[in-house]
Amino acid sequence: MKIKREKLLLLNSILQQAERIFKAPISGKFYYTVTRNRNKAEEERKLCYEAYPVDQKYLEYDQKRIEIFSEEGIHTDMQLREMSVKEPEKFNAIQERQRKLADEYKDAIEAENKMAEARNEFFKEDLEIEIRQISSSELPEIDPKSGFKAWDVLNALEPMVSYPSKVTTKTVEREKILKMNGVLYQAEMIFGNNVSSKFYAAVKHNREKAEEERKLCYEAYPVDPKFIEYDQNRLAIFGEEGIVTDDQLRALAANDPEKFNAIQERQRKLIEEYKDAIEAEKKMGTERQAYFKENVTIDLQLVTMDDVPEFADGEHINTWEVFDALAPMIDFAQELNPRIKFN
């Protein structure tokens, strides 16, 4: 198999921790495949770091850095993010210890940063290596207590996992494909860590296909750079006042009409400045929307309702909108999942 070194090293990092990541029972086939691929990937990792070694002083720094986190039971980025929200004082104390440590090892860190540039270029190169494959049906469950995100694990395992390749050719409005694409790009946020290998594979395949169609649409009916510039400036005006939703703008109009009017005046001047670009986009937008309403054929991997994971935060996600967007890739002939609650 031809694979970039960086992808092989990512695979190796997951395989080295397989015992902690996956829940029992583990099949003999999975154990054998992990062990064989881990040995191969570890050989390549050692060769890489012999060619581009890490300075001993930097290793000393890195060990102390990890020990600071370990003392507080922090082993993953996810755990650190949770601490920053739930225990900000403890988080800040850890960050201060890390800052002092980095200052102590400043020279070693700078030397490693320089070596890392050359090393990372080497990692981006392709190499040929034998990687034993396993069917996605053989993958054990990912233990949610491991601290590893299912999306990250499944992404890292891609070089060694064979997913079902069955696709269904469907005729769908372009507009619906673009709506599906928008949700699929937020799938990790919407569904959190509750994802199966089957759903992951369908999301990956369908997202690639939908993104291809989105690019073709905007190549045929592009947005003028001047209008994009206008839109960025428009959002920046709201952002300066902490306004990110229509509800916040309405609240400002009711509670602070003077500030609201000042924002509206800035927006009016901005519209005047970009008048030509706005008018051109309106015309192009009308043509673009008509194009979006046309049907197009697309090859999708379908999932059943039972394959769709539970939402990470059902209270703040509009499940109607999500399922409406996912409709092109769902086989609704299957029985509805009784656990799904619509809000």
Mean pLDDT on 233-253:
89
pLDDT above 70 (res 342): no
Q: Which two tokens stand for residue 221?
A: 């009916």
pLDDT above 50 (res 14): yes
The pTM of this model reads 0.73
Percentage of the chain exceeding pLDDT 70: 96
Tens digits of per-residue pLDDT, 204-232?
999 999 999 999 999 999 999 999 999 99
User: CA nearest 37: which of 64, 58, 7, 65?
Assistant: 7
Question: How does residue 246 score in pLDDT terms, banded at 50, 70 and 90?
Answer: confident
Question: How does residue 334 score in pLDDT terms, banded at 50, 70 and 90?
Answer: low
What SS3 state is found at 335? Answer: coil
Percentage of the chain exceeding pLDDT 90: 75
* Residue-averaged pLDDT of the chain: 91
Q: What are the φ and ψ backbone dihedral angles of 141, each rounded to 5 degrees?
A: -70, 145
CB 108 within 8 A of CB 59: no
pLDDT above 60 (res 104): yes
Domain extents for the chain? 2-150, 163-343
